[in-house]
Amino acid sequence: MRAVRGNVPCGFWRLRSRFGALSLSPVIRFRTLGILGRRATALAAALLPLPALATDAETEKAFIMGLPKAELHVHLEGTMEPELYLAIAQRNGIFTPYATGEDVRDRLRAAHDLPSFIVIYEELIGAAQTAQDFHDIALAYFRKAHSQGVVYAEVYFDPQLHLERGVPLETLYAGLAAAQRDAREELGLEAHYILSFLRDRSAADAAHVLEASRPWIGDLVIGVGLDNPEVKDFPAKFEEVFERAGALGLHRTSHCDVDQADTIANHWGVIEKLKVERIDHGLNVPDDPALVAAVRARGIGLTGAPTLFYTEIPGRMAYRAGRIRQLLDLGLLVSVNSDDPGMKRSLYVGDLMERVQEETGMSRDDIVRLARNSFAIAWIDEAERAAYLGRIDRYLADREPT
């Protein structure tokens, strides 16, 4: 069992975890704690309904879920749960071969790598046609993320996928803006979007979508990124368009997937050619000491996302979670992120942190560091950063033993 720092004596934790919730009678519980000496009082207490005692795993889960955190690497389209896909397809009169959410999940299980997943991702997102659809996908994600402690999110979206199938940018952005407003009003969750260019499409296409998106740059779109499957020399291909994005005041990030051909060269490429402030995944950084030094010196954030095909590929989660731990131990600014939680059955970020802790034996302090890092590398001003970090401090202070 992993080490857990609680706010009651260790012996009590051991007792609780050994016997589990509800396994001790209330009388014995009170005696064990030495709180009540007199039998009559204990018996009276035994007659009162007592809440079940949480196991230490449950306590740790509640701690992680409530810990304020930012999500920085999640794909809007990939947050769509199969049931929402079916509802959207139905209301838009779009034919779907799937009768139930489970049918859609079966189809998704056929994906075994990023390219095969992207084929299905494109198929499913094809159901989204209206601003309402994009709003509903985003707001459903914000609600779910908020339930797991996310108070701030920067969300990737793929405008080219929608433009290619005839959905105007105005429709897409209207939906994103409405969801941003609703997340603020309903949840107090602050959200912005990262305009992503598809690495396997042309730089000219990317330049076009960037110029066409200029009216929404600002509060809505705050950065650009690169996603979809890696192609050879992708950093060089997008150098000019990233320079233009920088000139427009946009932040910059890019995927560098794990253990790809030319992985180290691509990491260097996105740093030196694209001038990124973050690398999405970036889990190969420890493989090159010079890269570690450069990432550290430039304060580049690494948005680890360990769940791609973790149910299909044995050892996948442990390997990637281990890499995240390694980056944390190196003192780099790594965070944990959910990537495509609706479609890929990857975990939402609270569940994910819990799983990463389980896989790596991280302490509670390590988990808090991951949460702090998520704000350290968020694209917010220093006053906002201080406010979010202060929320973590207050959360911890409220849980200190008195």
Q: How far is CA 100 from the centre of its chain?
A: 26
Q: Determine which residue in the list 68, 78, 159, 306 makes contact with ligand ADE, applying CB under 6 A.
A: 78
Asked whether position 154 contacts ligand ADE by CB under 6 A, the answer is no
Residue 378 DSSP class? S
Asked whether position 121 contacts ligand ADE by CB under 6 A, the answer is yes
In 189-240, beta strands by DSSP E: 190-198, 221-227
Kindly tell me which of 59 and 307 has the beta carbon lying closer to ligand ADE.
Answer: 307
Q: Cα separation of 106 and 101, whole Å?
A: 9
For 151, counting Cβ atoms within 10 Å of its Cβ (0-12 exposed, 13-18 middle, 19+ buried), the class is buried
Kindly tell me which of 29 and 255 has the beta carbon lying closer to ligand ADE.
Answer: 255
- Nearest residue to 75 (alpha-carbon basis) of 244, 211, 220, 228: 228
Nearest 5°: CA angle at 305, between 304 and 307?
Answer: 150
Residue pair 226/196 in contact (Cβ under 8 Å)? The answer is: yes
The residues pairing with 335 across neighbouring beta strands, listed in sequence order, are 303
Kindly tell me which of 60 and 339 has the beta carbon lying closer to Zn ion.
Answer: 339
Stretch that binds Zn ion, among 52-60, 125-133, 333-341, 351-359 (CB under 5 A): 333-341
* Collapsed DSSP state (helix, strand, coil) of residue 155: strand
Asked whether position 179 contacts ligand ADE by CB under 6 A, the answer is no
Tokens of 34: 């030495």
Asked whether position 154 contacts Zn ion by CB under 5 A, the answer is no
Asked whether position 73 contacts ligand ADE by CB under 6 A, the answer is no
Cβ neighbors of 80 (< 8 A, separation 6 or more) are 88, 124, 125, 128, 137, 140, 342, 343
Residue list 209-238, contact with ligand ADE (CB under 6 A): 227-228
Q: How many residues bind ligand ADE (CB under 6 A)?
A: 10
Residue list 352-371, contact with ligand ADE (CB under 6 A): none
CB closest to ligand ADE, residue no: 227
CB of 401 to ligand ADE, least distance (A): 41
CB of 245 to ligand ADE, least distance (A): 18
x-or-dash string of contact with ligand ADE, 325-344, rule CB under 6 A: --------------xx----
- Nearest residue to 246 (alpha-carbon basis) of 267, 265, 266, 222: 222
Kindly tell me which of 56 and 340 has the beta carbon lying closer to ligand ADE.
Answer: 340
Torsion, Cα 280 68 78 359, to 10 degrees, reads: 70
CB of 34 to ligand ADE, least distance (A): 53
CB of 32 to Zn ion, least distance (A): 49
Asked whether position 71 contacts ligand ADE by CB under 6 A, the answer is no
Q: Determine which residue in the list 257, 339, 354, 359 makes contact with Zn ion, applying CB under 5 A.
A: 339
Q: Determine which residue in the list 16, 29, 69, 75 makes contact with ligand ADE, applying CB under 6 A.
A: 75
Instruction: Provide the binding-site residues for Zn ion, judged by CB under 5 A.
Output: 339
